[in-house]
């Protein structure tokens, strides 16, 4: 009887230990944190991401210095390229257009070009917002309009005179990743830019247009065997008029980030 009790006790103890191990394993897995590198972080971008998933590690690459930022990308599960200054026209073969530019940050240009190329090499999901869309196009060989009103036209106002967001409609094209993600064909978006895509890079296709036919969103032309890539000309991080377009994009980007995180494990 004593032997039976001893055997029974050891079996019970093993079961308890196994249950504790599974609880610990589940807890660790549940609290695994995906990391997103942001080329230049502002509170609006951070809030946009955290609203979709509060369990994220978000790091501002701009403050790290180029060498440290590229090294840190080895730990990242996704790259967000944000809005901001004009891209130096020499990067797309139009240095003579520099006088049309406003603010230029050569450090940021170099950081983002190198960060984007490393992200492609690692297969990271990449999302570009406003300048980020333009940076992706230039990095892949496309060109920009240095100043949309003078180089393209004024049919649609893409930036207001008081430097606040203006609104205009966009049309999402059929058979695009953007349409499959959002399910939205036409939507009003916020706009605050004076540059835009001129010649689209060969590896990209336009997935949305403004009524004046300025490109408003981009993705891979042939997405098979490539990382997730999307760029939008508007600002989803503060698109309050169309929250269904704003948060759906954040959710998809973070979904892709988590997939990458899981696969690399």
**CB burial string 138-171: b at 16+ within 10 A, e below:** bbbebbbbbbbeebbeeebebbeeeeebeebebe
Of 158, 168, 193, 235, the catalytic one is: 235
Of 112, 216, 219, 237, the catalytic one is 237
Total residue length of the chain: 265
Chain Cα centroid distance, residue 233: 12
Q: Determine the angle formed by the axes of helices 131-139 and 106-122, rounding to 10 degrees.
A: 70
Tokens of 176: 């695009």
**Choice among 130, 216, 219, 252 that is catalytic:** 130
DSSP annotation of 166 reads: E
Kind of pairing, strands 34-38 and 78-81?
parallel
Residue in 139, 143, 77 with CA at minimum distance from that of residue 109: 139
CA distance 19 to 30: 16
Does residue 237 have an active-site annotation?
Answer: yes
User: Is the dihedral angle over the CA atoms 246, 249, 251, 253 positive or is it negative?
Assistant: negative
Residue 213 gets the label, from left (phi > 0), alpha (psi -120 to 50) or beta, of: left
Is 32 designated active site? no
Question: How far apart (Å, rounded) are the C-alpha atoms in residues 240 and 247?
Answer: 10
Tell me if residue 168 is catalytic: no
The tokens describing 254, both together, are: 């973070």
Which residues, in sequence order, are bridge partners of residue 232? Answer: 129, 217
In 94-248, the DSSP E strands lie at 126-129, 144-145, 166-172, 186-191, 196-197, 204-209, 215-220, 229-232
Active site residues: 130, 235, 237
């Amino acid at each position: 009887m004593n032997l039976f009790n001893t055997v029974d006790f050891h079996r019970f103890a093993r079961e308890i230990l196994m249950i504790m191990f599974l609880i610990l394993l589940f807890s660790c897995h549940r609290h695994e944190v995906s990391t997103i590198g942001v080329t230049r972080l502002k509170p609006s971008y951070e809030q946009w991401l955290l609203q979709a998933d509060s369990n994220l590690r978000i790091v501002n690459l701009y403050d790290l210095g180029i060498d440290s930022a590229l090294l840190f990308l080895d730990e990242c599960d996704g790259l967000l390229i944000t809005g901001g200054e004009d891209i130096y026209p020499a990067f797309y073969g139009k240095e003579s257009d520099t006088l049309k530019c406003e603010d230029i940050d050569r450090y940021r240009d170099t950081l983002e070009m190198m960060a984007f190329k490393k992200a492609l090499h690692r297969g990271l999901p990449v999302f570009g917002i406003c300048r980020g869309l333009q940076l992706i196009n230039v990095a892949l060989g496309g060109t920009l309009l240095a100043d949309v009103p003078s180089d393209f036209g004024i049919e649609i106002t893409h930036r207001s005179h008081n430097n606040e967001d203006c609104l205009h409609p966009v049309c999402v094209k059929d058979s695009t990743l953007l349409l499959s993600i959002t399910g939205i064909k036409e939507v009003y978006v916020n706009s605050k830019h004076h540059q835009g895509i001129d010649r689209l890079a060969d590896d990209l296709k336009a997935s949305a247009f403004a009524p004046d036919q300025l490109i408003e969103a981009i993705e891979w032309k042939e997405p098979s065997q490539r990382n997730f890539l999307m760029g939008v000309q508007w600002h989803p991080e503060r698109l309050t008029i169309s929250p269904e377009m704003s948060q759906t994009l954040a959710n998809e980007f973070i979904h892709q980030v988590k997939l990458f995180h899981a696969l690399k494990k």
